Amino acid sequence: MTLYQLGNGKTFYSLTFGCQMNEHDSEVLAGMLNQMGFEKAESENEADLLLINTCAVREKAEQKVLGKIGELKKLKEKNPDMVIAVGGCMVQQEHVANKIHRDFKHVDILFGTNNINRFPSLLEDVITKGKRIKEITQDDSTVFEELPHNRENSIKAWVVISYGCDNYCKYCIVPYVRGQQRSRKIEHIKKEVVQLSKKGYREITLLGQNVNSYGKDLGNENGFEQLLEELEDINGIERIRFMTSHPRDFTEELIYKIRDSEKVCEHIHLPVQAGSNRVLKMMGRGYTRERYLYLVDKIREELPNASITTDLIVGFPGETDEEFQETIDLVKKAQFDSAFTFVYSKRSGTPAAEMEEQVPEKIKKQRIQELIDLQKSISANINQKLEGTVQTVLVEDVSKNDANILTGRTRTDKLVHFPGNKSLVGEFVDVKINHAHSWTIYGELTNF
Ligand code: SAH
Ligand code: SF4
Ligand code: F3S
């Protein structure tokens, strides 16, 4: 029996935790499973193979995964032939992989982020030899190419431009579980995007933990700007997005590039994390609040319609009330369209976990609430300015709750809901905005 027949007549179901990088990896795993003959199951209860792709970025994310794995014991008892595979960032940590291996005997396969390409062979060993497998590799030098994808969406696609991260922000586990930064070659990325355009994709999002340092590991200092230039002329692709940007490496030249490009969208996700210079320094972020606010001003000057979004952490070890108020002040000044707000979470193995003066939970909770309330009112204010305007929207999908409602995004990445026929999915349409709240925007078609 060859590897590629193993899944014939069988189904799989996958559960993905974490960020876009993990969603992308789950699409790759699904692509490999399809090649082996597996089809997607309707639900986890019916699947022959259950795949869990995990995230380690905060303790809560890990607890959620462990809770889920625990629950699966019953499912496996009912269906002993089911194969359960757990991979991703959490498992890449050897001590966590060992713990899962020891405590959850119903898990058949454990694999990390560095050996995702090995998944089909691991699965083959489990199915044909009936053994349990744990394979984690610390070798983080591989730049994956030519892996199959089974993409969830047929209009927009994630395209990885670099794997890993070299920044080692003091609170962050990502460099330890994703390895060193490895940029893909421009020609490989271009080839993938051309293939996507031929399949009818209209939008791509370039993914990397720090897209602004793309290419530096290949000796190319302006790699990201060059890459954008190379992708601009690919017919069929109308929108190019990218994330995540790092304020330390984000340049004025990039702002001009976005300004002068037809396709690169005016949305910049620029995580600031904190508003106090002392905290930024302790975090090892490599910029000051002044530099950050300068970049925001510059973006507003050159790209007046751009949306800017961010990530914020409250309660980094040693953060005082006054320093937290500097974050509040920065948020008021920067006027973000939206922000992901996080309570600092201790990640073992990172330098911040060893820092004294961990901030008590109660204070972290108060701080995050103040921040969420503030951001919510800023987002509502900004979005309300769209009421009465007409926006060009790329229709992405039919709403999950109502088949007569379509969802799509503006170039600035605002999600808009409006009544319409599903034949419009994949088209650009003009939508008049009627109601705009902090998170949701409603409108109606104007050109139909
Ligand atoms: N490479 C991206 C994304 C990293 S993870 C970046 O640099 O922005 C996404 C976000 O999770 C980070 O921006 C940060 O705000 C948050 N985060 C990372 N580690 C964290 C921790 N230990 N506790 C709380 N939030 C954390
Ligand atoms: Fe983590 Fe910093 Fe790398 Fe982002 S840039 S993944 S926050 S270490
Ligand atoms: Fe992403 Fe979580 Fe890993 S945020 S890179 S899935 S630790």
162 lines ligand 2 (CB under 6 A): no
CA of 3 to the centre of ligand 1 (A): 38
Q: Calculate how far, in angstroms, residue 398's C-alpha sits from the geometric centre of ligand 1.
A: 31
CA distance 384 to 19: 28
Nearest CA to ligand 1 atom 1: 209
Q: Which ligand is nearest to the CA of 62?
A: 3
Q: Which two tokens stand for residue 84?
A: 């359960």
Residues in the ligand 1 pocket, defined by CB under 6 Å:
57-58, 171-172, 174, 209-210, 244, 246, 271, 273, 311, 313, 342, 344-345, 347
Q: 171 C-alpha vs ligand 1 centroid, how far in Å?
A: 8
Q: Which residues pair with 241 in a beta bridge?
A: 205
In short, whether 168's Cβ falls inside 6 Å of ligand 2 is yes
Q: Measuring from atom 1 of ligand 2, which residue has the nearest CA?
A: 172
Total-model pTM? 0.94
Residue 42, judged by CB atoms within 10 A of its CB (0-12, 13-18, 19+), counts as exposed
Omega of the bond prior to 244 within 30 degrees of 0, cis? yes
Token pair of 446 as six digits:
């104007």
Query: Hey, what long-range contacts does 69-78 have (CB within 8 A, 24 or more apart)?
Result: 69/100, 69/104, 69/107, 70/104, 72/106, 72/107, 73/104, 73/106, 75/44, 75/45, 75/50, 76/106, 77/106
Convert 313-327 to b/e letters by CB count within 10 Å (16 or more is b): bbbbbebeeebbebb
Domains of the chain with CATH codes: 3-135 (3.40.50.12160), 390-445 (2.40.50.140)
**Which residues contact ligand 3 via a Cβ below 6 A?**
18-19, 21-22, 55-57, 89, 173-174, 177-178
* Residues comprising the chain, all counted: 448
Q: Is the separation of the CB atoms in 408 and 429 below 8 Å?
A: yes
Is 55 a known ligand-binding residue?
A: yes
- CB of 312 within 6 A of ligand 2: the answer is no
Count of C-beta atoms within a 10 Å radius of residue 403: 10
What are 267's strand-pairing partners? 307
Alpha helices in 107-207 (DSSP H): 119-129, 174-178, 186-198
The answer to whether 169 is annotated as binding is yes
Strand order in the sheet with 267-269: 267-269, 307-314, 338-343
Nearest atom, ligand 1, residue 346 CA: 22
**To test the ligand 3 pocket, which listed residue (21, 59, 90) has its Cβ within 8 A of the most ligand atoms?**
21
> How far is residue 426's CA from residue 393's CA, in Å, rounded to a whole number?
10
Closest ligand 2 atom to 209 CA: 6
How far apart are alpha carbons 133 and 327 in whole angstroms? 46
Nearest Cα residue to 136 out of 146, 120, 147, 122: 122
| CA distances for 46 relative to 15, 41, 126, 210, 323, angstroms | 14, 6, 19, 39, 51
- CA 46 to centroid of chain Cα atoms: 28
- Per-residue model confidence (pLDDT) at position 253: 95
15, 16, 17, 19: residue to mutate for ligand 3 pocket, most atoms within 8 A of CB: 19
Q: Are 136 and 99 in contact (CB under 8 A)?
A: no
Residue 17 to residue 15: CA distance in whole angstroms: 7
Residues (pLDDT < 50) of the chain are 1
Cα dist from 114 to 158, 275, 311, whole Å:
19, 34, 26
CA distance 99 to 79: 24
Ligand 3 centroid distance, CA of 35 (Å) = 26
User: What ranges in 79-217 are assigned the alpha helix state H?
Assistant: 89-92, 94-103, 119-129, 174-178, 186-198
Residues with Cβ within 8 Å of residue 360, at least 6 apart in sequence: none
Residue 265 annotated as binding site: no
Ligand 2 pocket member 273 (CB < 6 A): no
The pLDDT assigned to 272 comes to: 98
Q: Which residues pair with 236 in a beta bridge?
A: none
Dihedral sign computed on CA atoms, order 6, 10, 16, 22? positive
Which residue CA neighbors atom 1 of ligand 3 most closely?
19
What's the confidence (pLDDT) of residue 361? 95
Distance 448 CA to ligand 1 centre (A): 42
